[in-house]
Amino acid sequence: MGEAIVADLASGLLGKLVSLAAEEVVQAWNFHEDLDTLHQRMESVGALLYDAHTKNLIMSTAKIWFDKLEAVANVANVFMDELAYEVTRRKVENGHKSSDFFIPSKNTLLYRLKVARKIKSIQASFDKIFKMAVDLGLQPVAYLGSTVQDRDIRSTPSSEDKSIIVGRDKDVSYLVQTVCKTHEEDLQVLVVAGMGGQGKTTLARMVFNSNDTIHNFPERMWVTVSDDFYYIKILNEMIESLTSTNLGLKNPQGLTNELQKSLKGKRFLLVLDDVWNEESVKWDNLRNSLLEIGGDKGSCILVTTRKQEVIDAMRTSVFYWLGKLSEDESYELFKKIAYSDGGVLETEALATLGRSMVKRCGGLPLAIKALAGLLYSKRSEQEWLEIQSSETWQSKSVLPSLKLSYDNLPSLSLKQCFAYCSIMPKDSVIYKNELIQIWMALGFLQPPRRSIALMEDIGSEYFKILLGNSLLQDEEKDDCGNIVYCKMHDLVHDLALELCKDHSVTLKAGEELSHDCKALYMRLDNGVSNIKQTILKRAFGRVQILYAGADILLYLLPYLTHLKVLVLNADDNQVAQELPSSLRKMKYLKHLDISRCHSRLPTDITELYNLQTLRVPNLYEVPKGFSNLINLRHLYMNRTSGISCMFNRIERLTSLQTLPYFVVSKDQNCLVGQLGGLKNLRGEVRLYSLNEVANTEEARKAKLYEKSSIQSLHLNWSNEDKMEDNDQDVMEGLEPHPDLKTLTIDGFRGKKFASWITMMLNLVSIKLRGCNQCEVLPPLGHLPKLREIEITGMGKVRVVGDDFWGGQSVFPQLERLRIENCPRLRKIMPTCFPSLKQLYFGKLPNLEEWEAAVISTGDSSRSGFPKLESLEIWDCPRLRNIRSSYFPSLKKSRIAIFESDLSHLFIPFEQFGNYEQRW
């Protein structure tokens, strides 16, 4: 791992050199040429490292060279961090006035002289390193640098391909029947056992999501256990699985009472995935709590494990040993990935090689998928032969195919990104954006020189490659199709630990920190009480990433001299407190996450000029001078934080991409036009108090139509009922980019919605709430990708009809239509809402009529709502004339009509199937 750590430093330095050389301050001081020269040296270092890696140098002299190179790289890294901080500090304090950089002063001249000497010293040190490399026989050969090229991205199998299942139909069928069948036990336990990488979790997921299971179990819960079998924790996660709320309770009776609210008298299924516990006492504690819940007979626990000892501890006789895939099944799984679209073509020679290597995978799906993902991008028989003859197949510590996937990653930088994951707890959820932002903070993500690509986009490409090589898996997506989080198989995690064993440390209760610890990544799960004072400085002086409790700062802050990523957790009983002002001394910090603790932001945080990502809990105001954080790219607040913060002078934060919300206020000088210069805003954007915007021209200054990366837009006016003449003009001026995916409009007081809504052809969800002055619904029926509509609190709407279906706007961009040779054509009837699956109407007191979307022709493909699955109507007391024939695909409906006589509705409710009536 030595070369990877040095590569870590080298790639980080390359990025700093690129960005620093372009700074006006540096050019004013005439350092840019020296930095360009140093950049060339660092590129050559990367080439030497690649040559050393391909030659697999392990002799003692090579280790000495690695150590010396690491020492020089560390010195250069610290120097670059100091220079970057000084450049940013001067930019902030000079108010971005570049002319001030040229004004000579004694301090400036002395600093410039100091920097010049340091650069020459570093260059001289690298000259000695190059001489040593020549003596070792190394050459600065051309190599894939710190960035991954487009061809490498295209040569990655899609993540959807990795979910392919082969040879498990009988297993799934048997387990579903066993789980669902009636039995006399109060709580049956079924254990699925097998080797690591055999697909136990995938199999359990298929059983969990099968139609028969869903039909037989009204309540289903999934808990990933791993080696931490603590029944209080498991009960809390059951509640979270049911309610999506983490209560964090510690009292067993309180937890049981909460679970009874959802489970008592109901048949439930609980999956306990990846159990390692061998102690019967711990299992009995959990089982007794589950029995006390009082679920209905037939309730079942499905357990996955690798160990017979777990089955013995549970004292269950119902278990299922999962077999390996046969050779034919193994090759079938391999084929579906390696030869999928965009991959290599299957030839007789490659098929022979493929079968030979697949046989070495021992019938383990994880190993087969990793091998297939690797060979997907190998185009020649020679490349396949090289993989087949690799010595890695002899590895005993990790699965060879996983190690081969790692070895063949297309850049050292990408390998660093993977190795970082060693600090993540096993079986933990890995959030994509957070992972990429930490990679960025560590300097792993650097676009090519003269490239305009954002580091976040490079990170997304890296993430995709790791998924394609089965080094990450089980990705989950949001409604817009974006990956939100994933997981890492524990065998893959073992590989990451093996690669980073000397530089990644997790300290648990009762464990002591080694005197010779050289960790770069550190996780302290139980404070620092057992860390000896004598080793604090040596142990923490190199640490770049620290996960720890909030109280850690009281003990360690003076020693964390090179920290770049700090993630703090809090004890449940911790009272709100302010972070120490000495936090400002951590001037290299780029990623600060205090969202899980109760700490308040100190004013001095505005001196962390290098900060790129800030995650905070509830905030009622931001510190004065917050706009000094000119390198800030991502700002997150907990959802419970409300909308109380005012972001003054936000136009200075030109790097900002993620913003929790923006409140318009003339009095506070927070104008919507200040968002115009934030050209990289992305994800979700929420704008509040839009009644403070004067007119169309002012609204257009936000330049939302130029921001193609905004996927979700919330437009919020005040809740006052009075109509404002300018609301319609303001909405017209807030036109977003046509790539927008979700739109929410709340409290709008105009009579008509903006015309641009009909042009949002990529919308998948729209929500209109509290728009009480609107008399007509906007035309939405023609939007081809729209899957969800929510309309509530529109008191003046009387009819759901032609305007809503699309009216004359079913072809909003059509300029010319030509029809020839269609002698039998009588009418053109475009399908309304071709993709809509969920429709919700609520609190529409004057809604009376629901007109058919189209004239009945007997052709259901041309009717409205051809794919609608869920219909909810709530508090619409005057509604009548709605028929089930309007909804040919309806699967679920909920009709709740208050203070109304059901006879006014000309509809037999039973035609809806699964419905609910409430008054």
pLDDT in tens, 402-456: 999 998 888 878 888 999 999 999 889 999 999 999 999 988 887 666 667 899 9
pLDDT reported for residue 83: 80
**How far is it, in rounded angstroms, from Cα 144 to Cα 146?**
7
Q: Are 148 and 411 in contact (CB under 8 A)?
A: yes
Length of the chain: 919
Assign 119 a pLDDT band (cuts: 50, 70, 90).
Answer: confident
Question: Which residue, 819, 705, 814, 711, is CA-closest to 754?
Answer: 705
Both 202 and 255 in one domain: the answer is: yes
Per-residue pLDDT of 298-353, as tens digits, reads 899 999 999 899 999 998 878 899 989 999 999 999 999 999 887 788 899 999 99
Half-sphere exposure of 288 (CA within 13 A, CB side): 10
Please list, residue by residue across 671-688, b when 16 or more beta carbons sit within 10 angstroms of its beta carbon and e when fewer do.
Answer: bbbbbbebeebbebbbbb
Per-residue pLDDT of 14-29, as tens digits, reads 656 655 555 555 656 6
Residue 9: inside a domain, yes or no? Answer: yes
Q: Are 491 and 200 in contact (CB under 8 A)?
A: no
Residue 25: inside a domain, yes or no? Answer: yes
Average pLDDT value for residue range 732-754: 95
**How far is it, in rounded angstroms, from Cα 717 to Cα 364?**
56
The backbone torsions φ and ψ at residue 685, rounded to the nearest 5 degrees and listed phi first, read -125, 125
* Boundary residue ending a domain (321, 350, 366): 321
* DSSP bridge partners of 506: 523
Both 175 and 316 in one domain: the answer is: yes
Top pLDDT among 911 and 556 is at 556
Q: What SS3 class is residue 333?
A: helix
Both 226 and 288 in one domain: the answer is: yes
* DSSP bridge partners of 4: none
Average pLDDT value for residue range 891-905: 53
Q: What SS3 class is residue 493?
A: helix
pLDDT reported for residue 809: 44
Asked if pLDDT for residue 279 goes beyond 80, the answer is yes
Q: Are 630 and 88 in contact (CB under 8 A)?
A: yes
Lowest model confidence (mean pLDDT) among 200-204, 363-367, 469-473, 559-563: 559-563
**How far is it, in rounded angstroms, from Cα 910 to Cα 916?**
10
Residue 910: inside a domain, yes or no? Answer: no
Q: Where are the alpha helices (DSSP H) in 94-180?
A: 106-135, 150-154, 169-180
Average pLDDT value for residue range 552-573: 78
Q: Which helix H or strand E contains 607, and what residues bound it?
A: none
Residue 451: inside a domain, yes or no? Answer: no
pLDDT reported for residue 502: 76
pLDDT reported for residue 907: 47
pLDDT reported for residue 556: 79
Ramachandran class of 40: left when φ > 0, alpha when ψ lies in -120 to 50, beta otherwise: alpha
Both 127 and 188 in one domain: the answer is: no
Please measure the distance between the N-terminal and C-terminal CA atoms of the chain and give it in whole angstroms: 67
Rg for the chain, CA atoms, rounded: 31
Half-sphere exposure of 8 (CA within 13 A, CB side): 24
**How far is it, in rounded angstroms, from Cα 172 to Cα 207?**
6
Average pLDDT value for residue range 78-95: 80
Average pLDDT value for residue range 269-285: 92
Per-residue pLDDT of 126-161, as tens digits, reads 888 888 887 777 776 554 444 455 445 545 666 554
Asked if pLDDT for residue 883 goes beyond 50, the answer is yes
The backbone torsions φ and ψ at residue 597, rounded to the nearest 5 degrees and listed phi first, read -125, 175
Q: What SS3 class is residue 484?
A: strand
Question: Which residue, 415, 558, 482, 375, is CA-closest to 741?
Answer: 482
Q: Are 730 and 696 in contact (CB under 8 A)?
A: yes
Lowest model confidence (mean pLDDT) among 67-76, 300-309, 375-384, 423-432: 67-76
pLDDT reported for residue 814: 55
Q: What SS3 class is residue 714?
A: strand
Assign 808 a pLDDT band (cuts: 50, 70, 90).
Answer: very low
Top pLDDT among 1 and 837 is at 837
pLDDT reported for residue 895: 63
Both 98 and 218 in one domain: the answer is: no
Nearest 5 degrees, angle CA 515-CA 517-CA 522? 130
Widest CA span in the chain: 95
**How far is it, in rounded angstroms, from Cα 507 to Cα 525?**
6
pLDDT reported for residue 226: 84
The overall average pLDDT reported for the chain is 81
Q: Are 501 and 493 in contact (CB under 8 A)?
A: no
**How far is it, in rounded angstroms, from Cα 653 to Cα 675?**
10
The backbone torsions φ and ψ at residue 485, rounded to the nearest 5 degrees and listed phi first, read -150, 170
Both 94 and 218 in one domain: the answer is: no
Half-sphere exposure of 292 (CA within 13 A, CB side): 15
Q: Are 616 and 568 in contact (CB under 8 A)?
A: no
Residue 231: inside a domain, yes or no? Answer: yes
Domain range spanning residue 92?
Answer: 1-136
The backbone torsions φ and ψ at residue 320, rounded to the nearest 5 degrees and listed phi first, read -135, 115
Top pLDDT among 4 and 803 is at 803
Asked if pLDDT for residue 30 goes beyond 70, the answer is no
Asked if pLDDT for residue 890 goes beyond 80, the answer is no
Q: Are 330 and 359 in contact (CB under 8 A)?
A: yes
* Boundary residue ending a domain (116, 136, 156): 136
Both 93 and 10 in one domain: the answer is: yes
Both 128 and 210 in one domain: the answer is: no
Question: Which residue, 34, 31, 37, 39, is CA-closest to 15?
Answer: 39
Both 190 and 97 in one domain: the answer is: no
> Is 694 exposed, middle or buried (CB count within 10 Å of its CB: 0-12, 13-18, 19+)?
middle
Question: Which residue, 306, 419, 283, 297, is CA-closest to 364?
Answer: 306
**How far is it, in rounded angstroms, from Cα 507 to Cα 661?**
38
Asked if pLDDT for residue 368 goes beyond 50, the answer is yes
**How far is it, in rounded angstroms, from Cα 545 to Cα 566?**
6
Assign 613 a pLDDT band (cuts: 50, 70, 90).
Answer: very high
pLDDT reported for residue 914: 46
**How far is it, in rounded angstroms, from Cα 95 to Cα 689?**
30
Residue 873: inside a domain, yes or no? Answer: no
Asked if pLDDT for residue 910 goes beyond 50, the answer is no
Top pLDDT among 713 and 39 is at 713
Both 262 and 312 in one domain: the answer is: yes
* DSSP bridge partners of 917: 895
Both 187 and 95 in one domain: the answer is: no
**How far is it, in rounded angstroms, from Cα 37 to Cα 120?**
10
Half-sphere exposure of 638 (CA within 13 A, CB side): 14
**How far is it, in rounded angstroms, from Cα 118 to Cα 112?**
10
Top pLDDT among 376 and 102 is at 376
- We report the CATH number of the domain holding residue 287 as 3.40.50.300
Nearest 5 degrees, angle CA 401-CA 406-CA 412? 165
Strands of the sheet with 591-596, listed across from one edge: 504-507, 521-524, 545-549, 565-569, 591-596, 613-616, 634-637
Residue 724: inside a domain, yes or no? Answer: no
Residue 630: inside a domain, yes or no? Answer: no
Amino acid letter, residue 370: A
Assign 824 a pLDDT band (cuts: 50, 70, 90).
Answer: low
Question: Which residue, 299, 340, 176, 305, is CA-closest to 229?
Answer: 305
Both 185 and 296 in one domain: the answer is: yes
Asked if pLDDT for residue 580 goes beyond 80, the answer is no
The backbone torsions φ and ψ at residue 859, rounded to the nearest 5 degrees and listed phi first, read -105, 105
Q: Where are the alpha helices (DSSP H) in 143-193?
A: 150-154, 169-180
* Boundary residue ending a domain (92, 113, 136): 136
Number of domains making up the chain: 2
